[in-house]
Amino acid sequence: MIIAQTALAEAAAMSTGLGLNVPPERSLPAVFADPASQAVQAMLDRLAPTDAMLLIIGETGTGKEMAARYVHAQSRRRSGPFLAVNCGALSDTLAEAELFGHEKGAFTGAVRAQRGWFEAASGGTLLLDEIGDLPLPLQVKLLRVLQEREVTRLGSRVATPINVRVIAATNVDLHSAIAEKRFREDLYFRLNVATITLPPLRERKGALPILAQHFVKLYGDRLGRPNIRISSDALVRLACHAWPGNIRELENVIHNAVLLTHGEMIQSGHLQLMPPPQEISRGADPLEPSLRVLFQKAIQDGAPNLFARVERTLVQSAFDLADGNQVRAAEYLGVSRNTLRRQLSHMGILPLRRRVVSG
């Protein structure tokens, strides 16, 4: 296992002109455990000292911000600030002022001059997170700033040179965004100097046991349970999951399991895994996950006669939804009308039909 202890503690101590601190829980070591992750680490190590602009691509929770922090911590800017701005959360009206700063009186409410993210990150690294969500008008302005390496505050005519390393990250496919005219191609080419693609966790399952143990240790220590461990059946269960939320999902599942476990061993039953949406859309029965959850709850509550009660609810619901029409109710349930009649009779919803024997 390779655990890269980053110098983020330094960054954590730092505050910026925007009054932001890097929260201490962000100063976690990055784990690069399997060949795919190690290839990513090698690339990050190679690029970190170069000061080149980076574009980090990956699904949600794959560690894009973690990778950006890792690069910062390995770079010669490591003693400068690391700031992350969520481009999707920039308000439409104030976005330009937030990014590039403004002078006093530049707009209503601008009671004093304020530096923007680019100036605040001076000497360090600025992560433009969710770059794919940056409003189009700002994309043009960002392109100019990146090309000219200077910013002009709103309400000013004086350009200030910038001294930041820019890292952009996205979980949206920028090629489709370009095709749909939501993202400027020229900005894409400007950002795309060196691209790092973080593989989803389902493609680096070899990393699962080490990552899981890493989070068990992290949360065990944090919660005053340093001896807690994870069982091999729990690890097998983790390996069977599809991890649509990637490393963040794994981290949350383990954190939760540490909280749920009374003893010192996390068992598979302590893992609260959500059914992955892909399984539902891949033709699996969409009813199944909800029924499963209800079923588990009923078992936990110790509800008796579950089979009979589920059957009754199904038949009664179909009968009600069909306004008492037996043919339609039978269709809804996918059974013959005779089967339905028998069920209805057993349940006392219809009187039992007596066979008339003649003769």
Ligand X SMILES: Nc1ncnc2c1ncn2[C@@H]1O[C@H](COP(=O)(O)OP(=O)(O)OP(=O)(O)O)[C@@H](O)[C@H]1O
Strand partners, 150: 161
Which CB atom, from 196 or from 258, has the smaller least distance to Mg ion? 196
Question: The tokens of 74 are what?
Answer: 């390995």
28 binds ligand X (CB under 6 A): yes
Number of chain positions touching Mg ion (CB under 5 A): 1
Question: Between 24 and 63, how does the x/- string for binding to Mg ion read (CB under 5 A)?
Answer: ----------------------------------------
15 Cβ contact partners less than 8 Å away, ≥ 6 residues apart = 21
- Cβ atoms of 215 and 254 within 8 Å: the answer is yes
63 binds, among ligand X, Mg ion, none (CB under 5 to 8 A by kind): ligand X
Site for ligand X (CB under 6 A): which residue of 171, 213, 261, 343? 171
Among 58-66, 74-82, 96-104, 145-153, the segment contacting ligand X (CB under 6 A): 58-66
- 11, two tokens: 């960054």
User: Is residue 154 at the binding interface for ligand X, with CB under 6 A as the rule?
Assistant: no
Q: How far is the CB of 40 from Mg ion (least distance, A)?
A: 15
Tokens read off for 46: 């190679």
Which listed residue (6, 16, 62, 122) binds ligand X by CB under 6 A?
62
- Is 65 an interacting residue with respect to Mg ion (CB under 5 A)? yes
Contact positions with ligand X (CB under 6 A) in 253-312: none
| Options 8, 11, 22, 31; binder of ligand X; rule CB under 6 A | 31
Which does residue 251 touch among Mg ion, ligand X, none (CB within 5 to 8 A, set by kind)? Answer: ligand X
Q: Residue-wise over 256-272: b if at least 16 C-beta within 10 A, else e?
A: ebbeebeeeebebebbe
Report the sign of the C-alpha dihedral through residues 346, 348, 350, 353, in that order: positive
Q: Find all residues with CB under 8 Å of 270, minimum gap 6, and list them.
A: 234, 257, 260, 261
Phi, psi of 169 (to 5 degrees): -135, 150
Number of Cβ within 10 Å of residue 64's Cβ equals 24
Residue 66 interacts with ligand X (CB under 6 A)?
yes
Longest dimension (CA), the chain: 111
Is residue 65 part of the contact set for ligand X (CB under 6 A)? Answer: yes
For Mg ion, the binding residues (CB under 5 A) are: 65
For ligand X, the binding residues (CB under 6 A) are: 28, 30-32, 58, 60-66, 171, 247-248, 251
